[in-house]
Amino acid sequence: MKKKLSKFGNSRALIIDKPILKLLNIEDDTILEIKIVEGALLILPVKKGKDKIVSKNKKLQEAYEQIMEEYHEDFKKMAE
């Protein structure tokens, strides 16, 4: 499947068709994690209850997200 980006203000949006959203169990309130893996864009639904929001303090939340992004694999290995 090939898609073209749509203009959305100063940004661009990717429209995901409803059947694909249904297949992946993604709803309007589903939080999505976006990663770049080997030059490809990877979009993953975050399971409910694991939305990774740890603080309402913006600086603390940003620091947490940066650390988790950078050391995610290391944390996974330590948990095993």
Would the pTM of this model clear 0.85, i.e. be above it? no
Average confidence (pLDDT) over 30-57: 78
Q: How far apart are the first and last CA of the chain?
A: 37
**Coil, strand or helix: which one is 20?**
helix
pLDDT for the residue 53: 64
pLDDT at 8 over 70: yes
Q: What is the pLDDT of residue 5?
A: 95
- pLDDT tens column, 9-19: 999 999 999 99
**How high is the pLDDT of residue 14?**
93
Domains delineated in the chain:
1-48 (2.10.260.10), 50-80 (no CATH)
Q: Residue 58 pLDDT more than 90?
A: no
Question: C-alpha angle with apex 2: 22 to 41, nearest 5 degrees?
Answer: 75
